[in-house]
Amino acid sequence: MKYSESIRDAQAVMMRQDKRVFVCGLGVPAPGEVFGSTRGLKEEFGDQRVFDTPASENGTLGVLLGASLQGMRPIMVNQRVDFFLLALDQLINHASKWKYMFAGRQEMSVLIRLIVGRGWGQGPQHSQSMHALFAHIPGLKVAAPATPYDAKGMIISALQEGGPVVMIEHRRLYDEAQDVPEGVYRVAFGQARVALEGKDVTLVASSHMVSEAKKAVRLLGLKGISAELIDLRSLRPLDVQTVYSSVKKTGHLVLVEGDWKPCSVSGEIIASLAEKDPGIFKSAPLRVMWPDMPAPTSAPLEEAFYPSVKDIGDACFKVLGRPGSVSEEESQEKVKFSGPF
Amino acid sequence: MPNDIFYDTHMKNKPTSYGRMPGIPDGKDLKRKLLRGMLRLRLIEERLSAIYHQADEIKTPMHLYTGQEAVAVGVCAALRPSDTVSPYHRSHGWYIAKGGDLNAMMAELMGKEAGCSGGWGGSMHLLDTAAGVMGSSSILAATVPHAVGAALAFQMKGEDRVAVAPAGDAAIEEGVFHESLNWASFKKLPVIFVCENNLYSTTTPLSARQPRVDIYKRAEAYGMPGHRCDGNDVGGVYAKAVEAVHRARRKEGPSLIEVMTYRWREHVGPHYDWDAGYRTKQEVEEWMEHCPIRALAAEFPAQEVQLLRDEFEKEIDESLAFARQAAFPRKETIKESIRV
Ligand SMILES: Cc1ncc(C[n+]2csc(CCOP(=O)(O)OP(=O)(O)O)c2C)c(N)n1
């Protein structure tokens, strides 16, 4: 099952078993069906539970929060995370705080699906991920699944547990496929996954960067370096312990994140480890992230902007203090996106 | 037809009318100016459609203006070079109509350094301050308050200038649109809100997003005049714009103009999308029947129109040649500091 299908499936499974769940957002039932992730839902569940909304992100989220206070379990879909920034007032001032303002007497429950774009001239307002922004806010749960299995399991957890949940979905993951169980299963928030075991260096990634890091691990293997890859899955709560155990073993840490460096999730991980056990590092950790500027549109600039698989591999050589690098040709991006998307 | 009410009441059998406004050249000169503006825009966009995927040289999501030419051309014809527009994602029409540089736009679409945004912006982010094209944004309604702010600055500095805030029909659904109207009205700012009502937001029809309340009527609630006009009648658009510009220059405050128009091609990209399933081919063809350019061109000798076409095609050839030979921005402009 593809990533997009697993998201669709999770929503369908939950709508079948829980009458409170409904899905809406601009373009949800429209042709294209949010890159396939809401395909057929309207046909199965009707237009009372699967519907389009006005282009009113803050208003829409506020309305959904109001519905959640009456016992509903809404899912709000946004074709780009960037558009959702208009709803930050309802998200940050209300959804995340509600439970705390009223001593737990009431809680706002909504699942917010945010899609991240990248490449093919998406430009500065269609390519942000905002991992760190959302992960900064207490009262929110933030998922950034890298696999179809996790995407489905985390949607189900979000809807069953309630509370405001932000799920960041990278568009480049949408076609990645994997076996996904039928029916209901959960993937817990705050539990990272060791995606690949290794002993020399720890690589930490989330979302699409897990796929990129995987490619780098393979190239490193060809050069005799064994890297352990940790997929964070959940950015809030953040599972620092799993990273800790891995770095305890390897002593070296490279973090790969599709986001900017200052105040990032990766920075938080390094800080947490340093607070816990400053002696854990045998070398200074390295972060492979975006340059400190918005993404440009021009193709060559864009290519220079996004770190490559080679950048990830080379960072591992560097923390290990070894000369050398992964080979240029092998790390070439194979994905040819014929945009726009 | 999902938007039959809007379509039937407001689009069918509308007489073409050309407004007479004091101090503005009328008659054939004006018509020729409007025809030139629309035809040039059409040919630019048609050429872009033709080459978009061909050589993969334009790597940027492109929202084409085909079919809506009368809006930007009609409104901008009522403006002075010193006035400003703050466009949105469907930005080519406003950029060109306001006097933006075609070479620079073509270079921008190809991501070149000579582009009007240095290659950093692409189709959705065009800028030409000399021509009064303030930067366009891809976030719905985001530039509407920018135009209000421009008008605020004009007022504070005592400048006789007018700002235009174009917005699609979906932008009307954003809170900031209404906040902007309120702002402009209580400050009596020289700004004109232009809603290009093309009946769809991406593929979602108006009827799935808004109650059947006419957009132009909402102006009244904010204490400003609201007008609606036929977007296939460039003269009518022009006349309404002139009225609003006069009002703004007389320091009487903002206006809202809703123009009923139609996007011929897909929301983003160069294709016709008859088979996408959200609108019928018949609906598109009916609008094409009412092509704003064809109606006006018919008033001129065919030979004259052909000469115009030849002139513009040549200009487009040259601008594309310019863009193709232009250099890409240097990769080093992406700071190296944070890379490994
Ligand atoms: C805040 C925000 N929400 C959603 C979008 C996604 N989006 C891009 S264009 C578009 C449709 C806009 O329709 P309209 O305003 O009528 O302009 P048109 O494209 O029809 O010219 C949408 C929903 C966006 N760009 N910004």
Q: How confident is the model at residue B1 (pLDDT cuts 50, 70, 90)?
A: very low
**What pLDDT score was predicted for residue B333?**
85
Q: Is B147 helix (H, G, I), strand (E, B) or coil?
A: helix
Q: Mutation test of the interface with chain A: which of B57, B91, B334, B335, choosing the one with the most A Cβ atoms within 10 A?
A: B334
Residue B161 has pLDDT above 90, yes or no: yes
- Cα–Cα distance measured from residue A22 to residue A49, given in angstroms and rounded to the nearest whole number: 5
The pLDDT of residue B20 is above 50 = no
Q: Which of B66, B201, B267, B284 to mutate to test the pocket of ligand 1 (most atoms within 8 A of CB)?
A: B201
% of chain A exceeding 70 in pLDDT:
96
Least confident of A241-245, B5-9, B145-149, B223-227: B5-9
Q: How confident is the model at residue A332 (pLDDT cuts 50, 70, 90)?
A: low
Q: Label residue B2 by pLDDT band (50, 70, 90).
A: very low
Query: What would the pLDDT profile of A192-202 be if each residue is shown by its tens digit?
Result: 999 999 999 99
* Closest ligand 1 atom number to CA of residue B90: 21
- Tell me: pLDDT of B7 over 90: no
Of the candidates A255, A211, A210, A254, the one whose C-alpha atom is nearest the C-alpha of residue A231 is A210
**Residue-wise over B193-224: b if at least 16 C-beta within 10 A, else e?**
bbbbbbbbbbbbbbbbbbeeebbbebbeebeb
Q: Quick one: which H or E segment has residue B162?
A: none
Tokens of B96: 């060109």
Nearest atom of ligand 1 to the alpha carbon of B174 = 1
The answer to whether residue A126 is catalytic is yes
- With a Cβ cut-off of 6 Å, ligand 1 is lined by A 26, 55, 57, 79, 83, 86; B 63, 89-90, 138-140, 168-171, 198, 200-202, 263, 267
B138 → closest Cβ in A27, A123, A300? A123
Report the alpha-carbon distance of residue B93 to residue B100 in Å, rounded.
10
CB contact at 8 A, A152 and A6 = yes
pLDDT of residue A338 exceeding 70, the answer is no
pLDDT of A341 reads 56
- As a whole number, the mean pLDDT across chain B is 92
Considering only residues B316 and B2, tell me which one the structure prediction assigns the higher pLDDT: B316
DSSP code of residue B133 = B
Span A161-178, mean pLDDT? 97
* 3-class DSSP state of A337: coil
pLDDT, residue B11, reads: 47
The mean per-residue pLDDT over the stretch B226-242 comes to 96
Closest partner CB to B120 (pick from A85, A296, A315): A296
Predicted local distance difference test score (pLDDT) of residue B54? 87
Residue B21 scores a pLDDT above 70: no
User: Is the pLDDT score of A315 beyond 60?
Assistant: yes
**Percent residues over pLDDT 90 in chain A:** 93
Per-residue pLDDT, A331: 62
- pLDDT of B132 reads 97
Helix crossing, A265-276 with A240-250: angle to 10°?
70
Whether the per-residue pLDDT at B3 is higher than 80: the answer is no
Give tens-digit pLDDT for A127-169: 999 999 999 999 999 999 999 999 999 999 999 999 999 999 9
Beta bridge partners of A260: A290
What contacts B1, CB < 8 A, 6 or more positions away?
Answer: B7, B280, B283
| CB-based contact A125 B139, cutoff 8 Å | yes
Q: What is the mean pLDDT of residues B270-284?
A: 94
Here the tokens at position A126 are 């269609």
Question: Tell me: the pLDDT tens digits for A229-259?
Answer: 999 999 999 999 999 999 999 999 999 999 9
Say if residue B170's pLDDT is above 80: yes
Q: Does residue B301 carry a pLDDT above 90?
A: yes
Task: Indicate the helix (H) or strand (E) that contains A23.
Answer: strand A21-24
The residue whose CB lies within 8 Å of the most ligand 1 atoms, and thus the one to mutate among B138, B140, B263, B273, is B140
Average pLDDT over residues A195-221: 97
pLDDT at B188 over 60: yes
- Partners of A154 in the β-ladder: none
Identify the pLDDT of residue B26.
63
pLDDT per residue as tens digits for the range A260-314? 999 999 999 999 999 999 999 999 999 999 999 999 999 999 999 999 999 999 9
Q: Which amino acid residue places its CA nearest to atom 12 of ligand 1?
A: B201
Report pLDDT digits (tens) over B122-147.
999 999 999 999 999 999 999 999 99
What is the average pLDDT across B37-50? 98
**Which pTM was predicted?**
0.93
Residue indicated by tokens 């939950």: A14
Mean pLDDT of A76-95: 98
**pLDDT, tens digit, 9 for 90 and up, residues A23-74:** 999 999 988 899 999 999 999 999 999 999 999 999 999 999 999 999 999 9
Average pLDDT over residues B188-192: 98
Half-sphere exposure of B256 (CA within 13 A, CB side): 29
pLDDT for res B28: 78
* ipTM given for this complex: 0.91
**Mean pLDDT (whole number) for A81-93:** 98
pLDDT band per the 50, 70, 90 thresholds, residue B25: low
- What pLDDT does residue B10 have? 43
Give the mean pLDDT of B202-222: 94
Pairing of β A193-196 and β A227-231: antiparallel
Say what the pLDDT of residue B143 is: 97
Mean of the per-residue pLDDT values of chain A: 95
Compute the distance between CA of residue A297 and CA of residue B334 in angstroms, rounded to an integer.
12
> What pLDDT, on the 0 to 100 scale, is given for residue A324?
87
A217, pLDDT greater than 80: yes
Residues 6+ apart with CB under 8 A from A236: A134, A135, A137, A140, A141, A142, A189
Greater confidence (B15 vs B287) lies with B287
- pLDDT one-digit tens code per residue, B310-338: 999 999 999 999 999 999 999 988 865 44
Q: Is the pLDDT of residue A77 over 70?
A: yes
Going through chain B in order, the beta strands assigned E by DSSP cover 84-85, 163-168, 191-197, 200-201, 204-205, 226-230, 255-260
Q: Check CB contact of A305 with chain B, cutoff 8 Å.
A: yes
